[in-house]
């Protein structure tokens, strides 16, 4: 029985069941397709046909999701190759740069990026990461000196342009005020700021014109403020309080000063300078050796100059000795004070004045509240008329008799300058000694023999006891 004749389609189907045939057919079709695609028209038609077919298939959600997943896996696999990634970045950069040459594309891209960035920044964590990234990036860029200069200039121009708007200036001032107030809550910041402002203000005030402008500005500002009665009253009250505080502080300072002075002079000036013999406070003295004192006083005794078993020198004498000089006021320079004769010892103040050649008068007054005393006006030197003294003193007396004597600056004065009881016997003894001294001989003062003869008891002690002066001289 003859076999049934197969159709062409059936024969091809059966052949395609064999792998070798399929591979041969695929290779042949590929060559044929490649030959046909060498024709631009055929290639464009094929691309349009494939695009339309692909778009139609992508309308199916399942197909679209599968394709996206397949493309994602394929792209991820390819990007594992470093060279592929570099090529892709370069291709994307060139493609993006080419697209941005179109103004409309740039506008659309900016708007899309703005919306996308705004949406992302709604996430707090994203904002924090972005701020940190921007801070690091900006810090890295500012390490370049040229970049810093360009940025500073750009910021300056931008800030100047913004401040042309009055509302912006007000907002900026308010923001700066709040920020500055917050910073000054820190004690260390306040101290640094105050020191910086002080130095800056001091430097500016070295300029004469700046000082004048500042003084005038302060004067006008203060005058304007004082037009307000409340401010003026408050200022007056504050000034009153400040003056009271200042006076109280001055009183405290003065009291402390007096207390300090009194504590320093509590120990009396009993330290003897072994050179000049002056009495000083311990703080003014310098210890010295016995050998130094022996050289200063080779012919005199100096043991009495010891204080607490040591010798001391005042500052002036100590400095002279340091320069290998004999102190100018050293007692060995003829400045030894002679011993007081027994006739002149234990005399009262008025008795001393009665036998003195001259009586000095001066006004000694307080220099102020709780202050030292000083001479007010000139010093009057009055010659002592001894004839008057002789008339006052009684003719008869013994060693125990006394006489009341008033000493006035002028006879016309109502009140005496000094009023005391004197001992004529003591006065005569002192006078008898003094008339033998060179000073009294130079002034031609001697004892009257007539007066001495009238006093019998005194003649046993001294040769003459009354005073007599040459005519016109006391």
24/26 Cα distance (integer angstroms): 5
- Answer yes or no: do 422 and 458 share one domain: yes
Q: Are 321 and 313 in contact (CB under 8 A)?
A: yes
Tokens of 419: 């009023």
Instruction: Tell me if 303 sits within 8 A of 343, measured CB to CB.
Output: no
What do you get for the CA distance between the two ends of the chain, in Å?
200
7 lies in some domain: no
389 and 312: one domain?
no
Q: Model pTM?
A: 0.32
* Length of the chain measured in residues: 474
Residues near 357 by Cβ (< 8 Å), separated by ≥ 6?
383, 384, 439, 440, 443, 445
64 found inside a domain: no
Looking at the structure, do residues 317 and 410 belong to the same domain, yes or no?
no
Q: Residue 408 sits in which domain range?
A: 342-355+383-469
In a domain, 200, yes or no: no
397 & 294 share domain: no
In angstroms, the Cα distances linking 389 to 38, 404, 444 are 162, 12, 17
For residue 468, report the phi and psi dihedrals to the nearest 5 degrees.
-150, 135
Strand partners, 273: 312
Q: Is residue 311 domain-shared with residue 421, that is, in the same domain? A: no
Beta-ladder partners of 310: 307
Please give the chain's pLDDT, 474 residues, in tens.
555 566 777 777 777 777 888 888 888 888 888 888 888 888 888 888 889 988 888 899 998 899 899 999 988 998 899 999 999 899 999 999 998 899 999 999 999 999 999 998 899 899 999 999 999 999 999 999 999 999 999 999 999 999 999 999 999 999 999 999 999 999 999 999 999 999 999 998 899 999 999 999 999 999 998 899 999 999 999 999 999 999 999 888 888 888 887 777 777 788 899 999 899 888 889 999 999 988 888 888 878 888 888 999 999 999 999 998 989 999 888 888 888 888 888 888 888 877 787 878 788 888 776 567 888 888 888 777 655 555 454 444 455 466 778 888 788 888 887 888 888 778 878 888 888 888 888 888 777 655 555 544 444 443 333 333 333 333
Helix (H) or strand (E) holding 378: strand 373-383
Q: Which residues pair with 143 in a beta bridge?
A: none
Q: Beta 373-383 vs 466-469: how paired, if at all? A: unpaired
In this structure, is the dihedral angle defined by the CA atoms of residues 105, 108, 69 and 61, taken in order, positive or negative? Answer: negative
281 and 351 in one domain?
no
Residues 349 and 319 in one domain: no
Is residue 327 in some structural domain?
yes
417/392 same-domain check = yes
Q: What's the CA dihedral at 413, 415, 421, 427 to 10 degrees? A: -30
**CA 110, 112, 115 angle in degrees (round to 5)?**
105
The pair of three-digit structure tokens given for residue 66, joined into one six-digit string: 């599968």
234: phi then psi, degrees, rounded to nearest 5: -60, -40
> Does the residue 34 lie in any domain?
no
The answer to whether the CB of 273 falls within 8 A of the CB of 297 is no
Hey, what are 182's tokens? 């917050």
Same domain, 348 and 328: no
Total tally of structural domains belonging to the chain: 2
465 neighbors 398 (Cβ within 8 angstroms): no
């Amino acid at each position: 029985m003859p076999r049934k004749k197969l159709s062409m389609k059936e024969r091809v189907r059966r052949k395609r069941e064999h792998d070798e045939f399929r591979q041969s057919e695929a290779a042949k079709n590929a060559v044929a397709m490649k030959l046909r695609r060498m024709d631009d028209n055929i290639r464009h038609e094929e691309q349009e046909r494939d695009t339309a077919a692909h778009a139609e298939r992508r309308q199916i959600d399942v197909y679209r999701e599968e394709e996206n997943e397949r493309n994602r896996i394929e792209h991820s696999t390819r990007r594992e190759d470093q060279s592929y990634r570099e090529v892709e970045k370069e291709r994307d950069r060139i493609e993006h740069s080419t697209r941005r040459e179109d103004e409309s594309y740039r506008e659309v891209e900016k708007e899309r990026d703005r919306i996308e960035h705004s949406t992302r920044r709604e996430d707090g964590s994203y904002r924090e990461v972005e701020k940190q990234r921007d801070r690091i990036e900006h810090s890295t860029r500012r390490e370049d000196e040229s970049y810093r200069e360009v940025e500073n200039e750009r910021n300056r121009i931008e800030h100047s342009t913004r401040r042309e708007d009055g509302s912006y200036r007000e907002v900026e001032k308010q923001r700066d005020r709040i920020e500055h107030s917050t910073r000054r809550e820190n004690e260390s910041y306040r101290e640094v700021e105050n020191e910086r402002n002080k130095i800056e203000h001091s430097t500016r005030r070295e300029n004469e014109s700046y000082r004048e402008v500042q003084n005038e500005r302060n004067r006008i500002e203060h005058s304007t403020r004082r037009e307000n009665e409340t401010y003026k009253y408050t200022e007056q009250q504050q000034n009153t309080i400040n003056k009271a505080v200042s006076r109280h502080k001055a009183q405290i300072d003065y009291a402390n000063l007096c207390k300090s002075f009194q504590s320093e002079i509590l120990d009396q000036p009993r330290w003897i300078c072994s050179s000049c013999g002056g009495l000083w406070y311990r703080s003014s003295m310098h210890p010295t050796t016995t050998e130094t004192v022996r050289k200063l006083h080779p012919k005199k005794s100096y043991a009495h100059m010891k204080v607490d078993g040591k010798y001391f020198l005042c500052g002036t004498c100590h400095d002279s000795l340091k320069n290998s000089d004999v102190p100018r006021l050293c007692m060995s320079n003829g400045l030894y004070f002679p011993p007081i004769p027994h006739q002149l010892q234990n005399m009262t103040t008025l008795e001393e004045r009665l036998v003195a050649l001259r009586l000095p008068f001066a006004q000694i007054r307080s220099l102020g509240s709780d202050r030292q005393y000083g001479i007010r006006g000139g010093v009057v030197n009055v010659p002592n008329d001894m004839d008057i003294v002789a008339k006052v003193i009684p003719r008869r007396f013994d060693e125990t008799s006394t006489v009341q004597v008033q000493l006035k600056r002028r006879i016309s004065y109502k009140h005496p300058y000094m009023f005391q009881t004197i001992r004529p016997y003591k006065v005569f003894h002192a006078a008898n000694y003094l008339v033998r001294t060179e000073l009294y001989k130079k002034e031609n003062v001697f004892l009257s023999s007539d007066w001495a003869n009238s006093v019998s008891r005194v003649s046993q002690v001294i040769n003459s006891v009354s005073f007599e002066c040459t005519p016109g001289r006391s």
